[in-house]
């Protein structure tokens, strides 16, 4: 009996050990790397990084930044095949270029107990110029199958020492082990920033004496550091987020100063005072912002003679919207000059908004440019000036003690609103007189959708009269679609509601600076009643879902856990009221009331059903009182969205026709 228990215990220990073992934490491939077909910590993973290693250092021979890279990945299924295609961006500027060499890539497969290897050929490595400054080295590992283990390695050489290679520990598949080793000479002083929610498993440093020679007997010592993370979950993107690069666990480096071997110090990371001065003299920003422009040569007399400063600013803003087209380019530097824009009528975001800035200032309305980073570009760092973090330029003006943020690139955007892409927390206001400063990029007013419906039963169908008012970003999106193509807008509305026979649809057109969008809709809806005989009289039973319009078609929040904020960009209010006339029917069943709130009063869901005489009145309100929520709110928001979707899809009113006996 003891022997049996011992054997069972040993079997249990062996099973647990096997369940916790996923390959080898080294670059070499062994049979252990094939001993599992799924990853217990993430059964949805299509692939798994078993091992990843990088080593960056400044070469003593050529003073170039070198990086050696190795990676081993287990491919579980066909959906993981994308991870067998590798792309490495190489930057080029002013005659200097990054280079890649010694690319090795091997696919291992285990078939009938035999391990086979397929090697990448040099002819299967391709180079693609994606811009004037970036070339991508690209290759796909050969003979990849479900269950393959792939390894690849390469060496990078970069002349851009000021941009020490960062390291991204987290990606869209989980990782067992990721290590990054760095060697930084003491005369190079970097800002080092750890981003993301996960902590380092290992952070070890030591000093290596005389690792870098400066000639003439001069040497520098190096800080040798090992950064390791283990068991890193996959980063899964979900709706309502800014750039994933804001939240991926990674290490970034930014060079602050260089102490030359002759004793001099070069200040690489500048202060904002220094950057302000640099921008002031920069020909593609400062010179254009300070360029004298004669508004009387551009604007009409009616605009110039307007006495109200707000109306004048609105008219100038509308003029630029109507006469100059954004070419879709995101840059803080202009392409050419403002004079070029006046001739071609087309330019990048900086050109258009600098023209707006200059015209406002010329008519006596003070305005300043604001540099920002769009939502998909990531947050600019506040620790030190990094101009490359910014990719967009807008204008701030104050009129009658009220501040307005302006972007004239969108034709139908109301004065004082910004495109959704700009709602990225903060920007840097540039003022050449008093100095630059951080400003918040936020929307105080909520965006609102309000539906009011009256429904009346007529035979085997119902007639619904609906009036909808949208404000804020909901109004802007609808107005843009409507004004771009009215016929297509009406057509799409019919496609969106295939169960409605829309008999009337009108949009109430408003002034361009009115941040509302109003429309009326009348529809006939088939009810498909069920009938039965009661004492020779036919009784009809109607099943009606009173929620005709949805906020969420399905719950956008599906993750078990979300470690990054839920960012809507703006506050949300959604309300729906319906009055259903039930004359001639008895109410058999009504939906139940629901009242649900987010913690700390940050949001709510109210569903109220009231019956009086021959009417049922239903009120649904969904409110999010913050533009963004920390991950601690995720489960509550997920539940709120789930309840809302359930109300929309499963609310049921059951009516029976009245039968006289």
CATH number at residue 305: 3.10.620.30
For 364-419, the pLDDT digits (tens) are 999 999 999 999 999 998 988 888 899 999 999 999 999 999 999 999 999 999 99
Do 296 and 312 fall into the same domain? Answer: yes
Which residues constitute the domain of residue 307? 272-441
The residue among 240, 266, 292 that closes a domain is: 266
For 5-52, the pLDDT digits (tens) are 444 333 433 334 344 568 788 999 999 999 999 999 999 999 999 999
> In this structure, is residue 592 part of a structural domain?
yes
Query: By C-alpha distance, which of 425, 428, 634, 661 is closest to 536?
Result: 661
Residue 514 has pLDDT above 90, yes or no: no
The residue among 373, 407, 441 that closes a domain is: 441
Query: By C-alpha distance, which of 192, 220, 349 is closest to 284?
Result: 349
Average pLDDT on 232-251 reads 96
How far from 231 is each of 82, 176, 281, CA to CA, in Å? 21, 4, 49
| Average pLDDT of every residue of the chain | 91
Do 114 and 254 fall into the same domain? Answer: yes
Average pLDDT on 259-280 reads 83
Do 381 and 492 fall into the same domain? Answer: no
Residue 445 has pLDDT above 50, yes or no: yes
Token readout for 144 is: 């990849």
What is d(CA 546, CA 577) in angstroms, rounded to the nearest whole number?
Answer: 10
Residue 3 has pLDDT above 70, yes or no: no
The owner of tokens 């422009």 is 293
Report the pLDDT value the prediction gives residue 20, as an integer from 0 to 100: 53
Percent of the chain with pLDDT over 70: 96
Do 260 and 348 fall into the same domain? Answer: no
The owner of tokens 């009269």 is 465
Query: pLDDT category, 1, cuts 50, 70, 90?
Result: very low
Do 469 and 582 fall into the same domain? Answer: yes
> In this structure, is residue 610 part of a structural domain?
yes
Query: By C-alpha distance, which of 512, 497, 426, 425 is closest to 464?
Result: 497
Average pLDDT on 216-235 reads 92
Query: By C-alpha distance, which of 285, 270, 442 is closest to 371?
Result: 285
Is the sign of the CA dihedral 51, 56, 60, 63 positive or negative?
positive
For 45-88, the pLDDT digits (tens) are 999 999 999 999 999 888 899 999 999 999 999 999 999 999 99
What is d(CA 126, CA 129) in angstroms, rounded to the nearest whole number?
Answer: 10
The owner of tokens 């062996």 is 14
Do 283 and 348 fall into the same domain? Answer: yes
For 158-199, the pLDDT digits (tens) are 998 888 999 999 999 999 999 999 999 988 888 888 999 999
Report the pLDDT value the prediction gives residue 659, as an integer from 0 to 100: 65
Task: Kindly report the pTM of this predicted structure.
Answer: 0.88
**β strands within 186-324, DSSP E:** 188-195, 202-215, 218-232, 250-259, 265-267
Number of separate domains in the chain: 3
DSSP string over 55-118: EEEE-TTT--EEEEEEEEEEE-SGGGGGGGEEEEEEEEETTEE-EEEEEEEEEEEEETTEEEEE
Q: 349-362 and 309-323 helices cross at what angle (nearest 10)?
A: 150
Do 304 and 392 fall into the same domain? Answer: yes
The residue among 392, 415, 441 that closes a domain is: 441
Residue 660 has pLDDT above 60, yes or no: no
Residue 283 has pLDDT above 70, yes or no: yes
Average pLDDT on 313-318 reads 96
CATH code, domain with 83? 2.60.40.3140
69 contacts 27 by C-beta, under 8 angstroms:
no
Do 515 and 421 fall into the same domain? Answer: no
Do 61 and 184 fall into the same domain? Answer: yes
């Amino acid at each position: 009996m003891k022997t049996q228990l011992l054997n069972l215990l040993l079997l249990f220990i062996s099973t647990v050990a096997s369940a916790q073992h996923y390959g080898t934490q080294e670059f070499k491939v062994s049979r252990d790397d094939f001993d599992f077909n799924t990853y217990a910590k993430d059964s949805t993973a299509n692939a798994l990084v078993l091992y990843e290693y990088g080593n960056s250092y400044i070469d003593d021979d050529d003073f170039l930044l070198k990086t050696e890279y190795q990676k081993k990945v287990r491919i579980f299924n066909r959906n993981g095949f994308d991870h067998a295609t590798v792309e490495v961006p190489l930057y080029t500027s002013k005659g200097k270029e990054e280079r890649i060499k010694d690319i090795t890539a091997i696919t291992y497969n285990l078939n009938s107990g035999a391990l086979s290897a397929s090697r990448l050929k040099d002819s299967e490595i391709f180079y693609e110029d994606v811009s004037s400054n970036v070339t991508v080295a690209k290759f796909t590992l050969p003979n990849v199958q479900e269950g393959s283990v792939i390894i690849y390695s390469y060496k990078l050489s970069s002349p851009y020492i000021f941009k020490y290679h960062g390291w991204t520990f987290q990606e869209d598949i989980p990782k067992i082990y990721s290590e990054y080793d760095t060697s930084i000479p003491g005369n190079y002083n970097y800002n080092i920033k750890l981003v993301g929610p996960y902590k380092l498993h290992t952070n070890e440093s030591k000093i290596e004496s005389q690792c870098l020679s400066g000639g003439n007997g001069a040497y520098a010592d190096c800080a040798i550091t090992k950064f390791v993370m283990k068991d890193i979950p996959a980063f899964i993107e979900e709706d309502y987020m800014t750039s994933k690069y804001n939240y991926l666990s990674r290490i970034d480096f930014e060079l602050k100063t260089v102490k030359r071997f002759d004793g001099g110090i070069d200040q690489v990371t500048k202060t904002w005072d220094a950057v302000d001065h640099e921008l002031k003299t920069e020909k593609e920003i400062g010179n254009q912002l300070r360029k004298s422009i004669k508004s009387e040569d551009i604007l009409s007399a009616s605009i110039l003679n307007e006495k109200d400063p707000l109306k004048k600013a609105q008219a100038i803003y509308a003029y630029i919207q109507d006469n100059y087209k954004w070419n879709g380019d995101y840059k803080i530097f202009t392409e050419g000059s403002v004079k070029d824009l006046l001739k071609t009528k087309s330019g990048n975001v900086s050109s258009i908004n600098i023209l707006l800035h200059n015209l406002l200032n010329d008519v006596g309305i003070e305005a300043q440019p604001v540099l920002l980073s769009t939502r998909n570009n990531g947050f600019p760092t506040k620790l030190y000036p990094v101009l490359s973090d910014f990719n967009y330029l807008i204008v701030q003006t104050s009129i009658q003690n009220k501040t307005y943020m302006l972007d004239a690139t969108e034709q139908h955007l109301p004065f004082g609103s910004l495109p959704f892409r700009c709602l990225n927390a903060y920007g840097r206001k540039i003022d050449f007189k008093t100095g630059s400063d951080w400003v918040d990029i936020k929307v105080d007013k909520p965006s609102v959708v309000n539906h009011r419906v009256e429904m009346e039963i007529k035979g085997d169908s119902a007639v619904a009269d609906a009036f909808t008012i949208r404000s804020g970003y909901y109004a802007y999106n609808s107005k843009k679609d409507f004004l771009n193509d009215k016929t297509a807008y009406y057509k799409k509305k019919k496609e969106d509601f295939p169960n409605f026979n829309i008999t009337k649809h009108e949009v109430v057109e408003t002034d361009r600076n009115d941040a509302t969008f109003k429309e009326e809709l009348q529809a006939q809806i088939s009810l498909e009643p069920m009938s039965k005989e009661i004492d020779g009289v036919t009784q009809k039973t109607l099943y009606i879902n009173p929620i005709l319009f949805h906020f969420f078609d399905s719950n956008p929040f599906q993750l078990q856990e979300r470690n990054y904020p839920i960012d809507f960009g703006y506050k949300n209010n959604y309300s729906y009221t319906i009055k259903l006339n039930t004359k001639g029917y008895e109410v058999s069943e009504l939906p139940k009331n629901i009242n649900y709130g987010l913690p700390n009063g940050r949001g709510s869901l109210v569903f109220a059903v009231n019956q009086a005489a021959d009417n049922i009145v239903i009120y649904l309100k969904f409110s999010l009182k913050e533009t963004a929520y920390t991950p601690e709110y995720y489960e509550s928001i997920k539940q709120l969205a789930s309840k809302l979707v359930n109300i929309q899809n499963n609310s049921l009113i059951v009516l029976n026709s009245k039968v006289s006996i």
